[in-house]
Amino acid sequence: MLRKTLLPFFTLCVTTAIATCFDLSPAFPVPEWPHGAEDLASVFNSIEKQLKDLIADEKYDAASFSVEVTSSSESLWSQYHTARKRNETRPGAERVDGDSLYRIASITKVFTTLGLLYQHEAGNLDLQSPISKYIPELAVNGGEIPWHDITLRTLASQLSGLPRDFAQSDLMIGPPDPISIGLPPASRERMPDCDEDSNFDSACDGTDLIEWLKKAEPLFAPNQQSTYSNLNFELIGLALERASNKDFKTYMRDAILEPLNMTLSTLDTPPDDTHAVLPLGDNYWGIEEGVQNPTGGIYSSTNDMSKFLRYILTHYNAIAKGINWLMPASWGTGLQNFYGMPFEILRTDKILKESTRPITFATKGGGLPGYTTLISIVPEYGLGITVLVGCAECGKLLSAIQEIITVELIRGAEEVLWRAVDKTYTGFYTATNEKLNSSLKLAVSPSTGLMVNTFISNGTNVLGGFISKYLVDNSRPWHLQLVPTLLFKDESGQQGEIWRMIPVYEREEGLDRGVWDELCSTDVDILRYAGLPLNEVVFWQSNGIVELPAWKVRMSRDTVEEDALVVQD
């Protein structure tokens, strides 16, 4: 009686859990690109042609760029362009290449955050502690900013509510002339006498920053609303100096640049122009940033940045316990934008041709006079992209380059990966125990991923029986998709890839959907049988075996026709 009472409730819970989850991700294991990089040759050829056509426009005569794509183990492709118009008296590097140096601007924040994670893991700094623990002067003499609520994690996640800058972006410096645009006369008493506010006569130091902050007002209460702030990382930089007993430049060199063999990257102005990209017109080359170094001070190249991206791709979930560095910390403006520590994260469903599966880009952009820069990490594809542009007045050149590279690269990678999945996983499997009338047919398509076409267990049709009756709403189209967990089982020296079977509804063209139809609670552990996950699938690639532990069956690819099996619906 009890069982009959509970069964409808169980069915409702399960069908509700998967009611509107479309296009599951990840859809395939993270690829190891070196063995398949040749398959991307046509993609890179297409990108090269489009970039050459783009840069041929005369409005980009003064633009140089360096771009590079890397896997987790090696660089896969690069392209460089040297400006057709350069400063005759100081042209910089004769030819732009992978060692050419740019000011990477706010990409520096990623290095600063890595240093913070290192110090957190070492126990010298605590992400959950307020910044005032490490810089107690902030809380002295009052002020309106609630420093006790602003932790190091809050700072790194752009959730502090602090103003954006303290010695830059003030219209008192001009142009334009403030009076000419209708602003009243004003004094400079609230402006620090350093950096841009001193016409770069002197760089700001920690004292300048702390004194300014004591008079500053917050934009938001901490942890209420994300908003971009350079001050966050300047404060982290000061905390790093105190925790490491080194100045910021030395700490970055010793902790990150040298260990990663980033031989040309530096926070000091390079001693000569051998590798310098020096855009025509105003640029920030050679300007000392002082206390603002942690937010934008590094000089680097695409070769060095690829070394850095390879490190992130292979360590992002293992730098500090309990922290996945590429995960969002808060939402940004719009439906698809999020802040991480300190990544600017985009999840978009506009790239793939045959699926609306969202693709996630963990990015960090930067801009200083003469330089626009961007890195993008695509963890599910195991790819990192660096785009460095040197140009004083090139508008949206970097955005155009990034659009070409990412769209072409991800679409091309999809084709390669689905061919690999098809070759590795699909086919008709039958039980290794000949007494069992059990089989599995796996197929693949870019729109549905790796899916189960037929599943027979002991002569019973599982898809048309149990799953159809209890786990899905049959008034809507659905399929049973396999998604990788990126975990493994070890057995007798062999590794088995662990996947999960998930019923997934398919998007119906022209269907008038309600607001709440987009709510999806991801659930990959729906049911168990005798304590084992009912939907677990293990691929033992070394011997071509697929195992379903809860169903107590192992299967291998077979030449037996499906029709030869007896099926009970």
Cα distances (angstroms) measured from residue 229 to each of 109, 133, 160, 220, 296: 11, 20, 8, 12, 12
pLDDT at 14: 52
Residue 190 inside a domain? The answer is: no
Same structural domain, 26 and 54: no
Task: Kindly state whether residues 22 and 42 are assigned to the same domain.
Answer: no
For residues 494 and 390, membership in a common domain is answered with no
Task: Specify whether 231 is located in the same domain as 332.
Answer: yes
Residues 517-527: tens digit of each pLDDT: 778 888 889 89
Each residue's pLDDT tens digit, 255-291: 999 999 999 999 999 999 999 999 998 899 999 999 9
271 and 363 both lie in a single domain: yes
Confidence class of residue 238 from pLDDT cuts 50, 70 and 90?
A: very high
Each residue of 197-231: b (16+ CB within 10 Å) or e?
A: bbeeeebbebebbbebbbeeebeeebbeebbebbb
Statement to judge: residues 404 and 441 lie in one domain: no
Residue of higher predicted confidence among 12 and 268: 268
Q: Return the CATH number at 129.
A: 3.40.710.10
pLDDT in tens, 63-89: 999 999 999 999 999 999 999 999 989
Claim to verify: residue 431 and residue 349 sit in the same structural domain: no
Q: How does pLDDT run across 178-201, given as a tens digit for each residue? A: 888 888 988 888 888 888 877 788
Residue finishing a domain among 360, 383, 417:
417
Does residue 243 sit within a domain?
A: yes
Could you tell me the CA-to-CA distances from 92 to 29, 100, 232, 440, 547 in Å, in that order? 44, 10, 33, 63, 61
Residue at 181 is within a domain? no
Q: Number of helices (H) and strands (E) in the chain: give both, helices first.
A: 10, 21
Residue 108 lies in a domain: yes
Instruction: Classify residue 193: in a domain, yes or no.
Output: no
Stretch 1-21: mean pLDDT = 50
Task: For residues 23 and 144, state if they share a domain.
Answer: no
**Does the pLDDT of residue 440 top 80, yes or no?**
yes
Q: How many CA atoms lie within 13 A of 91 on its CB side?
A: 10
What Rg do the C-alpha atoms of the chain give, in angstroms?
Answer: 28
Same domain for 106 and 209: yes
* CA atoms of 131 and 134, how far apart (whole Å): 6
pLDDT for the residue 334: 86
Tell which wins on pLDDT, 510 or 16. Answer: 510
Residue 19 has pLDDT above 90, yes or no: no
Domain final residue pick, 391, 417, 443:
417
Please give the single-letter amino acid code of residue 89. T
CA distance 488 to 263: 36
Write down which residue in 385, 417, 449 finishes a domain.
417
Q: Do 436 and 458 sit in the same domain of this protein?
A: yes
Q: Flag whether 185 is in a domain.
A: no
pTM, 2 dp: 0.93
Evaluate if residue 558 carries a pLDDT over 90. Answer: no
Q: Is residue 184 part of a domain?
A: no
Domain membership of residue 272 as a residue range: 33-166+204-417
Q: What is the pLDDT of residues 310-366, one digit of tens each?
A: 999 999 999 999 999 999 999 888 889 999 999 999 999 999 998 999 999 999 999
Q: Which run of H or of E encompasses 533?
A: strand 532-533
pLDDT band at 160 (very low <50, low <70, confident <90, very high): very high
Number of domains in the chain: 2
Same-domain check for residues 228 and 356: yes
- Residues 258, 227, single domain; the answer is yes
Residue 510 backbone zone (phi > 0: left; psi -120 to 50: alpha; other: beta): left
- Collapse the DSSP code of 300 into the 3-class scheme (helix H, G, I; strand E, B; otherwise coil) and give the result: strand
Residue 325 lies in a domain: yes
Alpha helices in 357-454 (DSSP H): 397-425
Res 20: pLDDT: 64
Going by C-alpha positions, the residue among 267, 275, 331, 334 that lies closest to residue 298 is: 267
What mean pLDDT is reported for the chain? Answer: 91
